[in-house]
Amino acid sequence: MSVKLQKISAEGHVDPLIYKGTTEALEAGTGKGASPPAHWHVFWAAGAANLIALAAGCVLCWTSPSISKFSGPNATFELTDSEAAWVGSLTPLGAAVGPIPAGILADKLGRKPTMLGDSVLLFISWALIAFANSPAMLYAARFIAGLATGCIFAVLPMYIGEIAVDSVRSTLGSMMQLSLTVGFMVPFALGPYVSVTWLAIASGIVPVLFAAAFFSMPESPSVLLMRGDTVEASDALQWLRGQDRTSIMPELRKLEDEAQEAMKRKKPLLQSFMQIFATRGNIKAFVFGCGLLFFQQFSGINAVLFYAQSIFKKTGSSLAPEICTIIIGLVQIVASAGTLLLTSRFSMKFLLIFSGLGMAVAHALLGYFFHLLVTDQDVSSVGALPVGSLVFYIIVYCFGFGPLPWAVMGEVFAADVKAISSSVCASFCWLLGFLVTQFFGLLLNVLGDDITFWGLGGCCVLASLFTLLLPNTRGKSLQEIQEMLNR
């Protein structure tokens, strides 16, 4: 049972909302915000939270093994090419809508209730797919799943950033990309061997597991303090840090001061949006954020993931398409796990340039292979080229343009516009994802596979050139970065 924190005002009234701690406790903390050591509880909370990212991974790659099962004599019902394109693209369309209400709900209800609500939406979407008997049910399911996915991308990084200590914040932040890639493996590994219904049931178990694991985790202490609930914030921080009340008091005071400052700066939604364009630094940061996400989507990642099996079938590879996609999924997991080591040794700017050029090479080689097929040339000597190209593409994508645009956004946005800027950029990202997945099949039919992949390669070259404009933020404080942007 926690002891109620309170202070007595000069007039003798008790104020139960704000507690600054005793002078002795604050002096013992040496700081005024010295970062406490990491405790295993914070890793446990982050791991439980990231199960929702794993659930989002199941959503994003469901179409790869499943969409072909809606054609042929064994299909429950058939999808036309146009309907199949909508089934694939409605998820990023829903994800484009999701971040805006997610930001509002995360402030009104809290990070934890919003993410638990996302798990309910995901479960509903998988239930609709399991019992689908028409394209309309698939449309609804995929849009709902996309809505939840967009919310996850907006809220999960907030929660992780707010519960972590400085020493492990980057490590915990990298868990989202790793969890996504593990989630990709569910449809990649199970999809080819089970029915659509059983894959939906298996995928629907993941958000249930998340809800069960995350339900007992604490809310973000920062959110609790903004509500004025100092007692709950103290209890949450004690558990996350594995410390008693006296030990966490310096950090609690610092978080309380930050919460009060944030409440002072809080403005209505429209005014917050206009603040994005209020200063030179904010404008440059917004352009960098949107630009990197534009090139992330036009690198072709969603098209490759959504249509991986179809691509492999066209290549005529000696490996079964389902085996090829499993290989890609495993490569993603390994590459995502290795990204943290690279970011500790190289600047994000260097990794983004390397990633863009590497993806361009991969697309060029894949386009060359399809060109050989189109011109009826012998491809027996380069039969391994498609798998090798896509594996290399996934590796360099995970090293740069996969996780790092989000990391750059976390650095370049000023504190007072970070939430609204991140939400707008995330919506922009998923809107582009919708356009790419919706028209990727059309491009293949109109331009041909070779020209399409060469075009994606050209976008990757432009991505590297755009990255040259970024400031080098390695080793810079957030204040120094803002000063650089405002010059």
In a domain, 21, yes or no: no
In a domain, 135, yes or no: yes
Token pair, residue 193, equals 């061997």
Which one-letter DSSP state was computed for residue 36?
P
Class of residue 242 by CB neighbours under 10 A (exposed 0-12, middle 13-18, buried 19+): middle
Q: Are residues 403 and 275 in the same domain?
A: yes
pTM > 0.85: yes or no: no
Please give the Cα distance from 88 to 442 (Å, whole number).
13
Q: Are residues 387 and 281 in the same domain?
A: yes
Q: Domain range spanning residue 312?
A: 270-486
CATH of the domain at 468: 1.20.1250.20
- C-alpha dist (Å) from residue 355 to 214, 358, 451, 465: 34, 5, 21, 12
pLDDT along the chain (487 residues), means of 10: 37 36 36 60 91 93 85 79 84 88 84 94 96 92 94 85 73 78 90 91 96 94 84 88 84 80 69 80 90 91 67 66 77 82 79 94 89 81 78 88 79 72 85 78 80 92 94 68 82
Beta-carbon-side half-sphere exposure of residue 328 (alpha carbons within 13 Å)? 31
- If you count DSSP H runs as helices and E runs as strands, how many of each does the chain have, helices first? 25, 2
Per-residue model confidence (pLDDT) at position 333:
87
- Looking at the 3D structure of the chain, how many domains does it have? 2
β-pairing verdict for 14-15 and 7-8: antiparallel
CB 217 within 8 A of CB 47: no
Please give the Cα distance from 327 to 333 (Å, whole number).
10
Residue-wise burial string across 434-466, b where 16 or more C-beta atoms lie within 10 A, e elsewhere: bbbbbebbebbeeebbbbbbbebbebbbebbeb
Per-residue model confidence (pLDDT) at position 18:
37
**How many other β-carbons are positioned within 10 Å of the β-carbon of residue 131?**
11
Q: Are residues 283 and 136 in the same domain?
A: no
Q: Are residues 43 and 178 in the same domain?
A: yes
Per-residue model confidence (pLDDT) at position 356:
95
φ/ψ of 14, rounded to 5, equals -90, 125
In a domain, 449, yes or no: yes
In a domain, 399, yes or no: yes
CB 450 within 8 A of CB 371: yes
In a domain, 5, yes or no: no
Sign of the CA dihedral running 286, 287, 291, 294: positive
Token pair, residue 106, equals 């995360």
Per-residue model confidence (pLDDT) at position 281:
86
